[in-house]
Amino acid sequence: MNAIQSPHATATSHGLLSCHACDLLSPMRLEGEPCPRCGAVLHHRKPASVTRAWAFLLAAYLLYIPANLLPIMVTQSIFGTQRDTIMSGVVFLWLSGSHMLALVVLIASVIVPLVKMTILTLLLLSVRCKSTWRIREQTGLYALVEIIGRWSMLDIFVVALLASLVRVGTLATITPGGGAVAFASVVVLTMLSSLSFDPRLLWDAVETSPSSIQYSLSDYDGTH
């Protein structure tokens, strides 16, 4: 079996690099030049990818706690002031019979950010440990993070919608609380962490893995 037929063959092993924006393969000599297809600067790997991804991710972890503990919206009316967190809003929706909406808010506001941070943590640890375990599945997890990221601002949209609707009247006023700011920060930070992470780093471990060495030796000896 020669190297190009290996199931772990990578662009780097063939002297190619992929554009991080459009995935076009280009010769390694074009590193630092604009991509022929989209014009993005070509890099073998994103500069300081792991460091920046860890920094944004750790900041997101720190803000995830106040995002769930602080009130996400403050309602002021003639009956007093009410402060609602994400979970109290979920409980209210559930008890009022809006089970589907309660589940949507719970998944989008609590579960999805936590899943994103967990996946990014696993990917960064995989790069740190140079793991070659299920590389394709790990790449798929990164693609999943990219897909679900666009739904992470649901709570902020809900607060903005409620505020715009209630302000039409004069009996109550809804304003975003500290939890909304923290939650928006978590969403932005996880997005920045995801954008900073270079999934091509996952495949770097394949270049020095025993299986890759074995393929290279087999090709050199002319054996299969």
What DSSP letter does each residue of 7-27 carry, written as one string? TT--TGGGTEEE-TTT--EEE
Q: Judging by DSSP bridges, how do beta strands 73-77 and 16-18 pair with one another?
A: unpaired
143 and 193 part of one domain? yes
Domain shared by 40 and 125, yes or no: no
Q: How many domains does the chain have?
A: 2
Whether residue 80 is found in the same domain as residue 5:
no
64 and 2 in a common domain: no
E strand or H helix at 45 = none
Residue 224 covered by a domain = no
Using a 10 angstrom Cβ sphere, with 0-12 exposed, 13-18 middle and 19 or more buried, the burial of residue 224 is exposed
Same domain, 116 and 26: no
**pLDDT band at 217, cuts 50/70/90?**
very low
| CATH code for position 107 | 1.20.140
pLDDT at 37 over 80: yes
Q: Which of 7-21, 43-57, 108-122, 195-209 has the lowest mean pLDDT?
A: 7-21
Its pTM surpasses 0.75: no
Q: Are residues 4 and 19 in the same domain?
A: yes
Q: Whose CA is closest to 131, among 11, 139, 48?
A: 139
Average pLDDT of span 56-70: 93
Q: Is residue 221 part of a domain?
A: no
User: 134 or 1: which carries more pLDDT confidence?
Assistant: 134
Q: Which domain holds residue 11?
A: 1-44
Summarize the confidence of residues 140-169 as an average pLDDT.
66
Express each pLDDT in 16-31 by its tens digit: 777 877 878 888 777 7
* The predicted structure's pLDDT at residue 118: 93
Say if 217 falls within a structural domain. no
Write out pLDDT tens, residues 86-96: 888 788 778 88
154 and 109 Cβ atoms separated by less than 8 Å: yes
